[in-house]
Structures are given as structure tokens and as C-alpha cells.
């Protein structure tokens, strides 16, 4: 199950650390939980993955604030204890609800006591692997088509770099061995790559083995992303020596070291040395080389370059000014598009666009000539936040977009010619501006022959506001006009209203449908329209909050009134990508701190990235036990 959105948690709580700690767990909540809850939630049954008997003391219990928020909601809804189970008295239920509320809202954000999160052993994604090989050996081979590495899948809204999904099976290890052979072959048939690898040349002043040692030491330094231990260099030189002893040339000896470098755990994984904490802090700072690797894979999706290595070697990254300087330099580099492409593909779900349902049978222009610029528009809009250091709120509304001739014609924007994508200034009559007016998003949230207000509304709740609705119930059924006596067929909106009136569906549809229908002036592939089959479109609705949403312009107004919900959602997503793991309750402190800094800077993209890099979980790891 997707973790409870931190945005939802933040909205229920005040400033960081503002709530008082709850009464003692051991004397207040534990007796009630033992009496009414642990029958299903103990070490043996653990229904829902919850063992309420595992909290030995107050500190252990307080650390599970996300759990207590979920429990509070279920107790309040009468779902726990379930019907048929022993029920608490009204006084007991009130006491438990009060403790759950206090435990769910309490958050200690003191950096000295903050847990930076689990220490992760993170395998390189296949994209990171291929790019790292390119930087290391100056050849690029596609991980799937050239090297035969399997596809890596991530869940909707999640990133492919999450440590929990990056396992190393025996089968995959075999593929890495085969890939290493192919990469070594490619290096030595490519004169540019071979010459850049063999920088020191043996000669009268430089014996063969000394030259080999220099090459191998530099190769290991870059592959391990830190100065190698002498034992590691000696081990690699053993492969060189064996090749030479068998009659091989100097190049043969160097070639023999490439495979062990590429299959080394220190290359395939981002290895960080465990160190115990000093004092009572639960976290320890990562060293400069580890921080350099975290920064480089976060922003560039590859190993550190020489400038970053040099800064790490001078201990400049543990200095806040030095760290900020490197962040600024790296954000300005075109390689930082790795970050914005990841946000577009995973958070904004462009990876799903190839599976968009509209077909050329119903929409003849929806082919590759139009699909390619649709995806490029989204990616370029996100990257423009970086290159121009724009406010992230531009994704909600902007007076510009990116298009070529085909996409501009699709949008009804005159004066754009050629295949090249470019920045376009928008006028109100173009009915664009912002992510939700982009064809890729609108097509991706449509059906084969029509729009899907439900899918579009769900996209707004999930992606934009970070509050995804629950999955539909199993008996939700399909839309249909099932009255054969009806003279006038129901409109699509009427059909959906009848469906949404079902008790199991009504709660979610009240949140979803007004948002989706506000986008119904866009057809299934994002063309602007004012009616369908001579029936005027109804694009207004009322949200559960009482707010009226009227069309795309009205939807943008509503979303801009909730700009902080959107900004916090984006903080969560970028932080999740930076850390390579799902967020937990303790990370809410970081979300709050980064968001507060963004408010002060006018929501600039550079502030979002810089503050995440400066955060406790990015600069620290959980301390190893003594």
C-alpha cells in the first residue's frame, strides 16, 4: 500500500515541533490497545503488517506517528475494533482517540535528535549503470538493447532508483558479467575510448607495471567513487600480472582489469561505510566522497565528475558554502536534466504516455508526429524550472509553454513553423498554461474514444495535490445507461452521476469528478472544444469544501489557492528521489523545512534542490550500532 502522503500529515499539524508530546504510552494507550486491538495486531497475526505489542517503551511508540494517524482515522470511523469484536466503552474510546491524536501530531524536529532514516545499500539503476560506464570508460552501450539487462519497473508515482526495488539476483549478476565482457571489447575497438583509458604510456622513464598501476588506480578511484584502498589496487594489478604472464601485451593486461572493476560491488552498488554515532545522535554525517556520490546521482544520474571529486578531496562539501557552490554548478550543467526528466517521467507519469488509450480510429492526428512533442512539452516545462530557476508554481499556471509546429497547430496557436521545439508565449484565448493544459497529460487520462473526468480528477488529487483517492471498490461496476424505456439517452455526465450516487462510490467521486469535469473542454487528446455532438459541455462543479470549479481557468484558480499543498507534494517527490526510498514520518520535518525555505524564495526550483541537499537525511545516515 502506498505510504500515507506527508502532505496530508502536514495539513493536520502545525509548525514543526509545535505539538506537545502525548501522555505516556505505557500507562495510557498500551492497556487499551492490549484489551481491544492486539488480538489481531500482535507478533503472531500482524494484520495489516502491524504489531502493536512490539512497542516496549514510550520512545518506540512515539516514533510511529504515521501509524497512529492511520489508527486514529479508523477508530474515528468505527472500523476498529471491527464489528463483532469486544468494544471499548465510550470513555475508553475517547481516551484512546485523544492519545492517538496527540501521538499522531507530535513531531520532534530537533536536528540533534533526528533520525536520518535507514542506511541503504543501493544498486545502480541500469540507466545509472550505463551512464557511469560511459563516464568511466568513454563508451555508451544501451542497457537493454546492447547489454541485455532486464527492464526495471517502478510503481505509479514512484521512482526507479528506490533501493527497496533494486535487488541483485544470481541471474542479473550473470548478465553483469556478460555486460562487462562486451564493454571491455567495445573499449578496445574504439580508438578514442582506448586512448583516454591508457593515459600513461610505458616508456624509458615509466616501466610497464608502474604505468599500469597509475591507470588501474585512477580507474578504481572513479569506479569506487573514492580513493581506492591499496589492497584493491593490488588485487586489480593481479589480473594485469596474470594477463602479462600469459604472454599478453600491456593493453591486454589493462583490459583484464576492466571486468573485475565493472562487477565489483563498489561499482555496482553505492557503498557507504557504517560508522557508529558520537554521543546520543541517531545519525552520523556521511563523508565528502559519499556526499559527492549522493549529490551526483541525485542531480546527474551518474558518478561524480573531476570537479566534484576535487571538492570532496579538499573536504569542501562538508562546508555549507562549498556544498551550495557545487549544487549551483551542477544544476546549471545540462546533465542536471537527468533530475527533471526523472520528475517528468515518474512523478508526472510520462512513462505511462506510450500506453495512452486514444486511438487513431477516433483521433486520426494522434500519431507519433504529435505524440513526440507532447512528451517533450512536459519534459521541457519541468526542465525550464531548472534552467531559468523559475517558481515551481509554473506547473500550475504559466504564460508560456513549449511546442513545435505540429503541437502548436493541435493547440490552435498560430505562427509556429518547423519541427524544433521552442518556448511559446501564450495568450488567454489559447486556453493553455500549466501542466493540466498539456496534451500528454490530457491524453494519458482519457479513454479510447472519450475523455475520462474520473481519471483526470484522480490525476489532480494524486499527482498535483498528493492526496490520492483509495482504489475503487470491487463492486464499483461500469458506466451504463441501463433504462431501455428512456427516450433520450443519458449524457455522459448524467451516467457518471448515477454511478457516483452509489454509496460505495459517492465519497470519492465528490472529490474527483468536479476536478475532472473542469477539464472537459479538452477532448481526449487535448484539443479545445465547447460542445460535444451538439450538447454544450458542463464544466462546472462544487468540491466537498464548497468551492465552485468552473472550467480550466477556474480549476487553475482553485489549485493556485492550494499552492502550498502542491509545493509540499513536489518537495516530497524530489526528496524521495534524492534519498532513494519512501518517506516516513520523521521526514516530515525535512518537508516542512524545505517548504518554508521555498516560500521565502518565491518557490524557486533551485531552493527546492539546495535545501534538500542541505537536509539532515541527505547529509547523514543512521548510525551503526556499536
User: Tens of pLDDT along 227-244?
Assistant: 999 999 999 999 999 999
| pLDDT at 358 exceeding the cut of 60 | yes
Please tell me the predicted confidence (pLDDT) of residue 625. 67
| pLDDT at 580 exceeding the cut of 90 | yes
Q: Answer with the residue of higher pLDDT: 65 or 548.
A: 548
Please tell me the predicted confidence (pLDDT) of residue 479. 52
Please tell me the predicted confidence (pLDDT) of residue 492. 59
Confidence of residue 612 (pLDDT cuts 50, 70, 90): very high
CA distance 249 to 217: 19
Confidence of residue 115 (pLDDT cuts 50, 70, 90): confident
When pLDDT is averaged across residues 385-392 and rounded to a whole number, the result is: 98
When pLDDT is averaged across residues 99-127 and rounded to a whole number, the result is: 86
Please tell me the predicted confidence (pLDDT) of residue 2. 36
CA Rg value for the chain = 28
CA distance 476 to 479: 9
| pLDDT at 402 exceeding the cut of 60 | yes
Please tell me the predicted confidence (pLDDT) of residue 212. 97
| pLDDT at 6 exceeding the cut of 70 | no
Please tell me the predicted confidence (pLDDT) of residue 94. 87
| pLDDT at 15 exceeding the cut of 50 | no
Q: Answer with the residue of higher pLDDT: 7 or 417.
A: 417
Give the Å distances, CA to CA, from 205 to 13, 210, 318, 486: 69, 10, 39, 97
Please tell me the predicted confidence (pLDDT) of residue 594. 98
> Which one-letter DSSP state was computed for residue 490?
P
Length of the chain: 626
How many secondary structure helices (H) and strands (E) does the chain include? 28, 10
| pLDDT at 545 exceeding the cut of 90 | no
> Which one-letter DSSP state was computed for residue 88?
-
| pLDDT at 489 exceeding the cut of 90 | no
Please tell me the predicted confidence (pLDDT) of residue 494. 60
HSE (side-chain half, CA atoms, 13 Å) at 137: 29
Please tell me the predicted confidence (pLDDT) of residue 409. 98
| pLDDT at 96 exceeding the cut of 90 | no
For 391, the grid coordinates are 517558481
Confidence of residue 189 (pLDDT cuts 50, 70, 90): very high
CA distance 602 to 586: 26
Residue 307 has a CB neighbour count (10 Å cut-off) of 13
CA distance 52 to 33: 7
Confidence of residue 1 (pLDDT cuts 50, 70, 90): very low
401, containing H or E segment:
strand 400-403
Please tell me the predicted confidence (pLDDT) of residue 8. 40
Please tell me the predicted confidence (pLDDT) of residue 21. 80
User: Which stretch of 372-386, 425-439, 530-544 has the lowest confidence by average pLDDT?
Assistant: 530-544
Confidence of residue 478 (pLDDT cuts 50, 70, 90): low
Listed ranges 40-44, 140-144, 152-156, 507-511; the one with the highest mean pLDDT: 140-144
Among candidates 384, 381, 383, 374, which has minimal Cα distance to 354?
374
Confidence of residue 415 (pLDDT cuts 50, 70, 90): very high
Measure the CA angle with vertex 599, ends 596 and 604; round to 5°: 115
> pLDDT tens for residues 454-475?
999 999 999 999 988 877 766 5
Name 401's bridge partners: 424
Mean pLDDT of the chain: 88
Among candidates 289, 295, 309, 308, which has minimal Cα distance to 339?
295
CA distance 479 to 463: 25
Contact 103, 62 (CB under 8 A): yes
For residue 152, the SS3 value is: coil
Confidence of residue 169 (pLDDT cuts 50, 70, 90): very high
For 198, the grid coordinates are 591508457
Confidence of residue 623 (pLDDT cuts 50, 70, 90): confident
Confidence of residue 505 (pLDDT cuts 50, 70, 90): low
Among candidates 1, 105, 2, which has minimal Cα distance to 585?
105
Confidence of residue 33 (pLDDT cuts 50, 70, 90): confident
Confidence of residue 574 (pLDDT cuts 50, 70, 90): very high
Listed ranges 88-97, 466-475, 614-623; the one with the highest mean pLDDT: 614-623
Please tell me the predicted confidence (pLDDT) of residue 562. 96
Calculate the CA 10 to chain-centre distance: 19
Among candidates 365, 371, 531, which has minimal Cα distance to 438?
371
| pLDDT at 567 exceeding the cut of 70 | yes
| pLDDT at 140 exceeding the cut of 90 | yes
User: Which stretch of 220-229, 348-357, 439-448, 577-586 has the lowest confidence by average pLDDT?
Assistant: 577-586
Amino acid at each position: 500500500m502506498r505510504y500515507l502522503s506527508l502532505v496530508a500529515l502536514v495539513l493536520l499539524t502545525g509548525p514543526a515541533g509545535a505539538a506537545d508530546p502525548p501522555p505516556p504510552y505505557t500507562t495510557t494507550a498500551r492497556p487499551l490497545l492490549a484489551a481491544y486491538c492486539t488480538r489481531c495486531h500482535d507478533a503472531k497475526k500482524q494484520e495489516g503488517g502491524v504489531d502493536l505489542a512490539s512497542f516496549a517503551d514510550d520512545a518506540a511508540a512515539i516514533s510511529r506517528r504515521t501509524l497512529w494517524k492511520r489508527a486514529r482515522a479508523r477508530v474515528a470511523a468505527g472500523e476498529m475494533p471491527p464489528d463483532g469484536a469486544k468494544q471499548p466503552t465510550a470513555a475508553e474510546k475517547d481516551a484512546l482517540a485523544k492519545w492517538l491524536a496527540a501521538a499522531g501530531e507530535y513531531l520532534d524536529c530537533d536536528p540533534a535528535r533526528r533520525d536520518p532514516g535507514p542506511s541503504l545499500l543501493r544498486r545502480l539503476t541500469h540507466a545509472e549503470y550505463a551512464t557511469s560506464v560511459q563516464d568511466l570508460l568513454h563508451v555508451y552501450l544501451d542497457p537493454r538493447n546492447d547489454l541485455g539487462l532486464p527492464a526495471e519497473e517502478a510503481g505509479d508515482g514512484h521512482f526507479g532508483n528506490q533501493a527497496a526495488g533494486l535487488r541483485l539476483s544470481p541471474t542479473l549478476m550473470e548478465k553483469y558479467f556478460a555486460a562487462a565482457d562486451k564493454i571491455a571489447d567495445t573499449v578496445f575497438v574504439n580508438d578514442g575510448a582506448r586512448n583516454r583509458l591508457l593515459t600513461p604510456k610505458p616508456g624509458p622513464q615509466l616501466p610497464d607495471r608502474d604505468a599500469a598501476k597509475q591507470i588501474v588506480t585512477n580507474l578504481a578511484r572513479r569506479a569506487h567513487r573514492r580513493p581506492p584502498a591499496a589492497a584493491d589496487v593490488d588485487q586489480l594489478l593481479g589480473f594485469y600480472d596474470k594477463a602479462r604472464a600469459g604472454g599478453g601485451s600491456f593493453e591486454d593486461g589493462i583490459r583484464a582489469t576492466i571486468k573485475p572493476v565493472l562487477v565489483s560491488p563498489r561499482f555496482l552498488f553505492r557503498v557507504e561505510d557504517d560508522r557508529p554515532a558520537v554521543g546520543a545522535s541517531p545519525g552520523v554525517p556521511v563523508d565528502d566522497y559519499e556526499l559527492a556520490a549522493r549529490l551526483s546521482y541525485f542531480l546527474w544520474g551518474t558518478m561524480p565528475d573531476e570537479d566534484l571529486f576535487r571538492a570532496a578531496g579538499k573536504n569542501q562539501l562538508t562546508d555549507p558554502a562549498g556544498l551550495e557552490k557545487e549544487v549551483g554548478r551542477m544544476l546549471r550543467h545540462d546533465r542536471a536534466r537527468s533530475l527533471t526528466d526523472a520528475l517528468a517521467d515518474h512523478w508526472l507519469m510520462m512513462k505511462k504516455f506510450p500506453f495512452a488509450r486514444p486511438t487513431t480510429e477516433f483521433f486520426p492526428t494522434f500519431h507519433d508526429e504529435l505524440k513526440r512533442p507532447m512528451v517533450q512539452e512536459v519534459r521541457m516545462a519541468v526542465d525550464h524550472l531548472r534552467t531559468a530557476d523559475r517558481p515551481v508554481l509554473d506547473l500550475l499556471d504559466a504564460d508560456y509553454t513549449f511546442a513545435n509546429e505540429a503541437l502548436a497547430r493541435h493547440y490552435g496557436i498560430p505562427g509556429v513553423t518547423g519541427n524544433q521545439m521552442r518556448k511559446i508565449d501564450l495568450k488567454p484565448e489559447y486556453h493553455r498554461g500549466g501542466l493540466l493544459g498539456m496534451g500528454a497529460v490530457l491524453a494519458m487520462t482519457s479513454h479510447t474514444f472519450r475523455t475520462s473526468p474520473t481519471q483526470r480528477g484522480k490525476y489532480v488529487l494524486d499527482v498535483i495535490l498528493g492526496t490520492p483517492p483509495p482504489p475503487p471498490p470491487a463492486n464499483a461496476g461500469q458506466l451504463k445507461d441501463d433504462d431501455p424505456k428512456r427516450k433520450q439517452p443519458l449524457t455522459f455526465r448524467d451516467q457518471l452521476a448515477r454511478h457516483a450516487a452509489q454509496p460505495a462510490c459517492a465519497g470519492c467521486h465528490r472529490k474527483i469528478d468536479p476536478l475532472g469535469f473542469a477539464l472537459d473542454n479538452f477532448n481526449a487528446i487535448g484539443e479545445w472544444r465547447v460542445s460535444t455532438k451538439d450538447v454544450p459541455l458542463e464544466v462546472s462543479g462544487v468540491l466537498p469544501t464548497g468551492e465552485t470549479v468552473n472550467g480550466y481557468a477556474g480549476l487553475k484558480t482553485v489549485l493556485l489557492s492550494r499552492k502550498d499543498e502542491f509545493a509540499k507534494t513536489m518537495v516530497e517527490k524530489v526528496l524521495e528521489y534524492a534519498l532513494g526510498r519512501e518517506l516516513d514520518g520523521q521526514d516530515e520535518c525535512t518537508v516542512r523545512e524545505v517548504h518554508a525555505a521555498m516560500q521565502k524564495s518565491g518557490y524557486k526550483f533551485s531552493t527546492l534542490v539546495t535545501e534538500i541537499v542541505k537536509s539532515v537525511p541527505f547529509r547523514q545516515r543512521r548510525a551503526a550500532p556499536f
